Amino acid sequence: MTGELSFQDQGSVLHCHGCGPDNASGLQIKSYWEDAGAVARWKPEPHHCGGSRDILNGGIIASLIDCHSLNLAIAHAYRAESRPIGSSPRIAYVTANINIDYLKPTPIHEPVELRATISRIEGRKTWVRCSLSAAGQICATGEVLGVRVM
């Protein structure tokens, strides 16, 4: 059932280090519809640590928020055209800006959960808000501006 596949496994993105299913060395996050937005859950490896071995690296957090947010923008664009994700012509977005507040240390030994919602769309631009939580607490929030590649 296509509806149960992640955006990425439906073909939203192929090669990307953060979310491409074809990238064996990447983070391979998987994003799914949930209500009006998207959710992803991901388990860090020990080498994804920050300055302390117990916390998740801020750059990895940025990658997760960036990729999950752009995948929502892409999935939303396919849905707006009433087309399956990954169908031709392919829809691609690039990140124009990312702004992340790191609210508290993110424990590395817990799965993280990403929740994204679209906050605004203007022409080719889509703004997505995304939170990252672990152990039931929001550890980081971000806004990503994606621009559709025409």
Cβ atoms of residues 85 and 78 within 8 Å? yes
131 scored as a contact of a second copy (CB under 8 A): no
86 scored as a contact of a second copy (CB under 8 A): no
User: Cα angle vertex 112, ends 115, 126, to 5°?
Assistant: 30
DSSP label at 15? S
Query: DSSP characters for 87-106?
Result: PSSP-EEEEEEEEEEE-SPP
58 scored as a contact of a second copy (CB under 8 A): yes
Shortest distance, position 47 Cβ to a second copy, whole Å: 4
Report the b/e string of 111-147 with b at 16+ CB within 10 A.
Answer: ebbbbbbbeebeeeebbbbbbbbbeeeebbbbbbbbb
**The tokens 């993280």 sit on which residue?**
112
Stretch that binds a second copy, among 31-39, 75-83, 87-95, 119-127 (CB under 8 A): 87-95
Contacting residue, 50, 117, 138, 148, with a second copy by CB under 8 A: 50
Binding to a second copy (CB under 8 A) within 10-29 occurs at: 13-18, 20, 23-27
67 scored as a contact of a second copy (CB under 8 A): yes
Diameter of the chain measured on Cα atoms: 46
Shortest distance, position 70 Cβ to a second copy, whole Å: 8
Residue among 18 and 37 whose Cβ is closer to a second copy: 18
5 scored as a contact of a second copy (CB under 8 A): no
Binding to a second copy (CB under 8 A) within 99-128 occurs at: 99-102, 105
Give the residues lining the site for a second copy (CB under 8 A).
Answer: 13-18, 20, 23-27, 45, 47-53, 57-60, 62-64, 66-67, 92-102, 105
